[in-house]
Chains A and B, each alone.
Chain A
Amino acid sequence: MTPPLLEVRGLRTEYRAFGGTRVVRAGDDVSFTRERGPTIGRVGDSGCGKTTTCLSLVRLLPAGAQVTAGEVLLEGRDLTGLPDREMQQIRGREIAMILQDPMASLNPLFTVYDQVREPAYHHRAMRGAALRERVRSLLGSVRIPSPERRMKEYPHQMSGGMRQRIAGAIALSAAPKVIIADEPTTSLDVTIQAQYLDLLKGLQRDTGVGLVFVTHDLGIVAKRCDDVVVMYAGRAVESGPVRTIFERARHPYADALLRSVPTMGSKEPLFRIEGQPPDLADLPPGCSFAPRCPLVADRCLEQAPPTLEITPGHRADCWFAQGSGPVLDAVAPGGGAAHTNGSTST
């Protein structure tokens, strides 16, 4: 059996602050599997460890942060133990990233050509006319109009949507197996965002590249992803096929998150998650979500919940995960915007 494209097992990343006296677990025991083809999405509030987990995958963690447990398997090969020199051969060539802000991720001093050609030049040893043709076709595939002219220009000459498409072309340049897109559309307007998401879908179909989407936007998950990992306070609290989780989320945080988003054309009151996300350096004992959870019971405050497999591929870390239907139906009957209210298609 061929190993999955990307598999993450029990990954834990810690930040050490104040001389190691304060340890922040930004990603704790995060596992997911990335088969070829479908798109995985990771959602959660800011500070929940989405970005840290992704940076851990490509080992671009800031100083003071360290992967302390777990493994990252790319086609069965563990990346966590690789020396830096070998990791350089992975980054860009096997795993590429698209970052949130195309203003900050493009170099203002180099032309578009220079930036798009770089991964192909270094990782695929392309030169001369072939390299030029590669850049032209990459710009064409991310729908930059008149690529021949545009590749001589600088980032400031382009609109935000075009810059983000160029970041996409750079990521594709060395034909990687996986692209990690960290909030790739947050800075784009709605119609441009829709165009960009359609574009990524098309690129994935054409090149077979695997996509990992990091986002706080459940809409992107609903639109673009096949599987989803919901993160809370550094942990993956629920994971599974997107449709399963939108229809019957079994972790109270995942379900509450789905119910707290307004639905177009509906004025139903939103579900309100009380309180604030916890400080990652000072997590409550037991379940991290317990202080905000509408279903909280005594044991939630004392014992961390087990990871339960509800149906094959659908896992949740909650004492109450076993069962059918959205877990919060008992406390918020009919209140689930994502579950019950008609939107334009019903």
Chain B
Amino acid sequence: MSDALLQIEGLQKYYPVRKERLFGGSRGQVRAVDDVSFEIGRGETFGLVGESGCGKTTIAKLVLRIEPPTAGRILFEGLDVATLRGKALLAYRRNVQAVFQDPYGSLSPRLRVRDIVGEVLEIHTSMTRQQVTTRVHEVLELVGMRPEHARLFPHEFSGGQRQRIAIARALAADARLLVLDEAVSALDVSIRAQVITLLEELQRELGVSYLYIGHDLATVAHLSHRVGVMYLGRLCEVGESIEVSTAPQHPYTQALFASALPTKPGDQREPLAVVGEVPSALQLPTGCRFHPRCPHAMDRCSAVEPVLQPTSTSRRVSCHLMTAGSEVVGREPAAAR
């Protein structure tokens, strides 16, 4: 058995849609997630990046078992998550917790912090009230809050503090994997750094794994050990985050990282070659989904859909330019080093 904590194999999620016409309608489907495979190791952070509509949040929903996959498997410690029932499912929910983007929407305004954080313990453990309260105080301190905060309501806290409470809730029952869906995006820059460093410290201390989902490339690259780049439901590149962010290989990854804003003035990046906008997921382009916007598109790209192929021991890329055995020419930001 591999020592991955979470393995995702050939995951698919299609949503049926009805296209309304005057007389009857035709059935179509949105392929929100299409044949995605990756794994997350113990104590590892895997980052998923991509633009809106690329399917990254759908993957979060599938991993959290909010929705069932259309096909493919999610294995947690070797067990197929879709088959879990009863106690085993309860244990899975205890092990896999989520922190969402909006700390204003994700905490019940009617509950005190003690009950928000303690609820998970009341469900999953046989702790007494006193033990739950003690544990709540413990995790609050773990995330840099004070035990006295347990008495207060969410509205008494700022966005950054609320996000700490959400993290405390996720960790209260010793979760093994946190799904962090845009967990710092809603926070101010100065507060974001606090939460990012907190997440890093917690991982070092507790060995918890993260699935970090975001659109801010620098933050995802900073937090993650490995990243997967998604485009229209597919993974186009997976690899070590430093390698992917400094020497992206897939033309979409290159465009994405070239579009990223510089961290200081004069950080000249190559001019942007990608044109247009993401096409509708209802009408996917034939062949490679990126080919209509790709500066390197060849005949084969509109006919044959490329699959993820290893380009090194740690990297997989789905692009015909890669399988042709040559690297994409001329658009290699790291070459400037």
Considering the complex, which residues of chain B in the window 290-337 have a beta carbon less than 8 Å from any beta carbon of chain A? 333-334, 336-337
B282 in the interface (beta carbon within 8 A): no
Q: A242-B265, A277-B190 known; A192 and B277 CB under 8 Å? A: yes
| A191-B51, A219-B262 as given contacts; A260 in contact with B190, CB under 8 Å | yes
CB proximity of B243 to chain A, nearest CB, Å: 9
Q: How far is the CB of B215 from chain A (nearest CB, A)?
A: 6
Interface residues of B in 259-279 (CB under 8 A from A): 259-269, 272, 274, 277-278
Proximity bits, A222-262, B CB within 8 Å = 1, else 0: 11000000000000000000110011000000001100111
Q: Tell me whether A273 and B264 are in contact in the complex, defined as CB-CB below 8 angstroms, given that A46-B188, A189-B51 are known contacts.
A: no
Interface size on A, residues (CB 8 A): 50
Docked complex Cα distance between A219 and B52 (Å):
20
A216–B267 touching, CB < 8 Å: no
The answer to whether B160 has its CB under 8 Å from any CB of chain A is: yes
Q: How far is the CA of A195 from the CA of B51 in the complex (A)?
A: 14
Give chain A residues whose Cβ lies under 8 Å from the Cβ of B264: 222, 246-247, 338-339, 343
B158 close to A (CB within 8 Å) = yes
Per-residue CB proximity of A318-346 to B under 8 Å, as 1/0? 00000000000000000001110011111
- Distance between B154 CB and nearest chain A CB, rounded to angstroms: 15
Q: Whole-angstrom distance between the alpha carbons of A300 and B178 in the complex?
A: 41
When C-beta atoms are compared, the residue in chain B nearest to A269 turns out to be: B197
Is B260 within 8 A of A222, CB to CB? no
Q: What is the predominant secondary structure among interface residues of chain A facing chain B? A: loop
CB distance from A61 to the nearest CB of B (A): 23
Q: Select from chain B the residue with minimum beta-carbon distance to A159.
A: B277
A191-B158 in contact (CB<8A): no
Asked if B133 CB lies within 8 Å of chain A CBs, one says: no
Is A198 located at the chain interface by the 8 A CB criterion?
yes
Cα–Cα, bound, A246→B261 (Å)? 14
Does chain A have a CB within 8 A of B256?
yes
**A223–B262 touching, CB < 8 Å:** yes
Q: Are A261 and B221 in contact (CB under 8 A)?
A: no
Q: Cβ of A272 and Cβ of B261 under 8 Å apart?
A: no
The answer for the CA separation of A264 and B267 in the assembled complex, in Å, is: 11
A260 and B193 in contact (CB under 8 A), knowing A159-B277, A344-B246? yes
Closest to B333 in A: A344
The 5 closest A-B pairs by CB, nearest first: A219-B261, A262-B222, A260-B193, A194-B259, A45-B188
Known: A190-B259, A257-B190. 6 other contacts (CB 8 A): A191-B256, A222-B261, A264-B246, A276-B161, A339-B264, A344-B336
A-B contact pairs, 22 of them (CB 8 A): A45-B188, A45-B190, A46-B188, A194-B261, A194-B272, A222-B261, A222-B265, A222-B267, A243-B265, A247-B264, A257-B189, A260-B193, A264-B217, A265-B221, A265-B242, A267-B222, A270-B197, A338-B264, A343-B263, A344-B336, A344-B337, A345-B268
Task: List chain B positions with a Cβ less than 8 A from chain A.
Answer: 51-52, 158, 160-161, 188-194, 196-197, 200, 215, 217-219, 221-223, 242, 245-246, 255-269, 272, 274, 277-278, 333-334, 336-337
Q: Which residues of A contact B (CB under 8 A)?
A: 45-46, 159, 161-162, 189-195, 198, 216-220, 222-223, 242-243, 246-247, 256-257, 260-267, 269-274, 276-277, 337-339, 342-346
